[in-house]
Amino acid sequence: LHPERPSGSQRNVWQTTVDLIEPLGDTVRVTLATPMPVAVDVTPGAIASLRLTEGATVWAAVKATEINAVEA
């Protein structure tokens, strides 16, 4: 997750909004809204440094080798 459009080798990059933020013990699950709803587990420090709040606009960037798809 990035506050600005990231540069780098990621080929899967899109702008979205934070739909939900859920504390899960040592991590925090951030659920992103459209165009591709996904859940991302991050540290509480990442939440603070990115200043993430529900409704915030963010950029998601994922390398294909870092994706783990599970049935909802």
Instruction: Write out pLDDT tens, residues 19-67.
Output: 999 999 999 999 999 998 889 999 999 999 999 999 999 999 988 777 7
Distance between CA atoms of residues 24 and 41, nearest Å: 9
Give me the CATH topology for the region 12-66. Answer: OB fold (Dihydrolipoamide Acetyltransferase, E2P) (2.40.50)
- Strand, coil or helix: 60: strand
More confident residue, 69 or 19: 19
The pTM assigned to this predicted structure is 0.84
In this prediction, residue 10 carries a pLDDT of 75
